[in-house]
Structure 1
């Protein structure tokens, strides 16, 4: 909490800004009332599922050295000449199968807008007009630089940046932060900034996950034999180089298991979305669900705790490709438990993290 003197100084600063405005030269740029910005960030989405929209999006995503760290001399010719000539078609078909045609956007965009709206309402209820909430995407639109510029032009003199990834990874949280910090390079007046750390072990987040499992299981006549916690994969090499993602995923599963009061035989951790020739974190979800079916686990549920919002990796990969692998191996009952999305318990957990990181700025 700010002490009484600091609170008076802050109030005086706001008053001084308004008072001084009347004494500024007539040609002085107008000054907006100072406020604090909260900028949420997610991975991104193509503008459409046509070839060129997909190519632009994939090119930005797969050119990120945090995502693919091979030498550009080797990777870029392969990417530009081979991968981007074919992959936009297959990825476009996948996006088309889940596209929100009514809104003309991907589900990730629809859900992120809903999350932002609810968090903005929560911040307004607590802080009035002192906090501005918006969102950006690491890849695609709305871009991080555009939203940082909008916030500063709207009068945000401090910005809290919140990558919506429960677990930290260099290929997700770090690259989002990189882009945010790069966005500050073009500003004449840089605001003080903070970033929200990973929230994989936050009790309110774990409780929100557990509630979503309990709701799903409560609707079933027959409970699944096992719950598969499927996290987005990264190369195993990243773990060996010090990335904490694998450990944070494992801890999320353990905390969820403890919150549910389950034994080790009721829940497992797996990793999906393998790309390229090298070894990634194991076990691979697509292979593990088939092995479970062959071992007699005919009913399974899958949840994706690494994703704050449903997207191509959950709605298409889990609910289609991974489901198909399970059923082809003899599985009978496959349940996908949606991401937390704009669930009220999830929004409360995110708002809690925001308020903790606003301390000293707004109290």
Structure 2
């Protein structure tokens, strides 16, 4: 009897502990993410736009930084409205789609960056004609308008405030669709499809880099063999040494790019995978259905953890660029000191760090 009471008490304490942890995370995490992500995204935009010779890559990266900063700001605003029970009304509830819209736009902008890098690596001679700044601007604008119209239409038709005006709900005739069909449609558009596209494009880019390395080895090897018959021994040794040096430099650049891609893919997988697991594994309780309180408390804690990780995906890009791109660090250093990059570095037209893909 005593042992049974002790088990019940321990179980109850564990449930309360898990719920308290989930509540504490929910109350504070968004402020930490915003404090890290919003200033860093602003600094990222300033750094990228300060580079001379704007390119499609720099435009896409700056667009990603803007959408990331706006996304975490919209999520912070929605979080505070819910926590402080701010009066929403009909207008507020029908326009409460901005966080989802901006988050989806950021993820799809990341897909566009991966696509631009795929063309640059696998079709370098066609990149100048296929991927232009004008086309990137039109694509981003069309993508933003499509997502905006889609989410705004759904919220305008299905959502409204309750009688008090402080809480948002769904019309009864759309309630079944909102809890089932819309749940998966929203997840598919905002997370699953961008995730699959980024993984696929990253794999293709890595494969393209490996193929380019093999082709470059073959070209340099053939060039060395031809020169071996045309030049004397001394000059031939110097030429072969030059070829080997160029080969090593090219391979070092490729290794750096590949490392950035793998790092970005791993970070994106790390931040997005818990959300995918939660959305696929957790089943919402039906009306009147009783669940194990301890299991529900564990899922509630996991829910808040996945929110922390997926929302952090809007705050980590700047730090990934800084750690993996030397040119970005140099430009940032000169921006902070209010100086212009000297010489040839200031005339660079492309941004090495745009080989990164992300969360």
Fold shared by both chains (TM-score > 0.5):
no
The answer to which structure has the higher helix fraction is: 2
- TM-score (normalised: structure 1): 0.26
- TM-score (normalised: structure 2): 0.27
Structure ranking higher on relative contact order (CA contacts 8 Å, 6+ apart): 2
